[in-house]
Chain A
Amino acid sequence: MEVSIKKGAFHKPESPDEKPYLIGSRCSSCGYMCFPKKEVCVKCVRDDCMEEKKFGPYARLDSYAVIQVAPTGFTAPYIQAYVVLEDGPKIFTLITGCEPRDDALEPGQKMELVIEKIRDDEKGNSLIGWKFKPVEEKNKS
């Protein structure tokens, strides 16, 4: 069975022409953004200013590292990263769609959201969550 790693945090496309997106929050008072959703703004410390906001599907790579020794449920090597969502916050993610090499990616490069399996849980369910993959940028000089 497919189980979401965090309920209500993302939309998984139902058809090929749909794009996935993440569901977070934006403060209508100060502009602070976060993912996943929060009901309180940590900058204003108010509970009446957060609005739901969809993020994606693009982001820029902030930093990454290739993990060679995997924790339970994961197979090394794999890439963990931070990406900055387009018009959104910096978030933790796993990387897919490229070789897990130490020179596979370049900070600042464009990444695209994919919703796929993260790992199996203890009950044998497929845990589904967000990952990002590198995208070819056109007109790159």
Chain B
Amino acid sequence: MRHVCIVGTGMHKFGKFLDKSLKDITKTAVWEAIHDADIDARAIQAAYFGNATGGLTIGQEAIRGHVMLRHAGFEGIPIVNVEGACASATIALREAVLAIKSGVYDVVLAVGAEKMYLDDTARSIAAMSTNSDVEIMGGMGFQFSASYAMTLRKYMKKYGWTQEHFAKVASKNKYNGSLNPLAQYQKPISVENILNSRLITWPLTLYMCSTMADGAAAAIVCSEDFARDNGMDFITIAACCLRSGELGEDDDGQRHIAKEAYEVADLGPEDIELAEVHDAMAPGEMFRIEKLGFCTPEKMGELVDNGYFSLKGDLPVNSSGGLAARGHPIGATGLAQIHELVTQMRGRAGARQVRGKSSEFPRLALAQNAGGYVDGSPAALTVTILKR
């Protein structure tokens, strides 16, 4: 089967942009990616557009991608709309990968975009609550922050993780975000100030949690043959896996998809040099790391204390700042993770640049993204592995 790669990525800065529309931020991310790839945009043969809540937030329920991408300059080519809550962008990327693998296209575009800041906060919050089964959990006041808190409380009890560990992870990610010009929050915050910020749901405090955000991210995806023939600098997509959550013995699907991705890429967690993981509440990074097999839960506290996951640590995690610092415009997050990995692998991450294990820059990197909640397990789960 054909090998698939990324030749360009782009982002619209994440943050609060009340004067910009979803069209505006989509156009910026798409053209940043096109210029990054240094490609003639007319070579793009299809586009996959990820967005979660455009129907409820801006009222554009149908043909979102067609509307946003016509504004970004695309007519004629097929456009596919993709929705999977916070995993929408990675699902769009995966559709792009499958399209190239099938041999139907040589070059396609994957985009994720979200507009959460409106003049009506209640509408934004109501839209977010649809990331669960609205009939049951949505209607009963289910909160994602509390769902993270419940999981973390279990780990605290069983493995001795503490609120201080959580604040350390959040502080590390705020620091990483402070070095990322595209991040929503660019201020470092001390462990103490994180612990002293407003309680959201114990053990989570305000500065550990992601907030609303506007933003978009995009990638130009093509066959390796096309990239080679055109002399392009490319990063190979070694795996781009998608599963739905499940109710297993000791797994809600997160271990299952990690295993699948390692098998597809033919490597193991010990080979990964850099990871972006889904931490809508920064301490969630710890259980994502554990479920991805990077370390045991028993060892986690010690590794957090020793800065193992910091920019200069053995395995930097969320060098972009993660969801709580870089920002979490939900339908854009997955491709923002990819943008960070590609930027790092190309050695263009500036002050937050990390080193590879045996090369100047990382050669193997992983992104983990999740979206929504159904029946006690995640709705959509993705793991992507990039290789240089």
Tell me how far the C-beta of B204 lies from the nearest C-beta in chain A, rounded to whole angstroms: 8
Task: Closest B residue to A69 by CB, please name it.
Answer: B200
Stretch at the interface among B62-70, B138-146, B214-222: B138-146
**Interchain CB contact (< 8 A) of A92 among B136, B154, B157:** B136
Are B146 and A6 in contact, CB atoms less than 8 angstroms apart?
A: no
Using known A-B contacts A67-B201, A68-B201, A71-B129, determine if residue A5 contacts B139 with beta carbons closer than 8 Å. Answer: yes
Tell me how far the C-beta of B267 lies from the nearest C-beta in chain A, rounded to whole angstroms: 31
List chain A residues, Cβ under 8 A from B246: 42
Residues 52 to 94 of chain A near chain B (Cβ within 8 Å): 63-74, 78, 80-82, 90-94
List chain A residues, Cβ under 8 A from B375: 34
Using known A-B contacts A68-B200, A92-B142, determine if residue A107 contacts B157 with beta carbons closer than 8 Å. Answer: yes
Q: Is B376 among interface residues, defined by CB-CB distance under 8 A?
A: yes
Q: Is B202 among interface residues, defined by CB-CB distance under 8 A?
A: yes
Q: Is B151 among interface residues, defined by CB-CB distance under 8 A?
A: yes
List chain A residues, Cβ under 8 A from B153: 63-65
* A interface, over-half SS: strand
Task: Closest B residue to A78 by CB, please name it.
Answer: B141
Task: Closest B residue to A74 by CB, please name it.
Answer: B141
Across the A-B interface, the 4 shortest Cβ-Cβ residue pairs: A65-B149, A65-B146, A63-B150, A102-B202
B residues with a Cβ closer than 8 A to A are 122, 125-126, 129, 135-137, 139-143, 145-147, 149-151, 153-154, 157, 199-202, 246-247, 375-376
A residues with a Cβ closer than 8 A to B are 5-6, 34, 36, 42, 63-74, 78, 80-82, 90-94, 102, 107, 118-119, 127, 129
Can you pick out 11 interface pairs between chain A and chain B where the beta carbons lie within 8 Å of each other? A5-B136, A65-B146, A65-B150, A65-B201, A66-B201, A73-B141, A80-B147, A80-B150, A90-B376, A92-B142, A107-B154
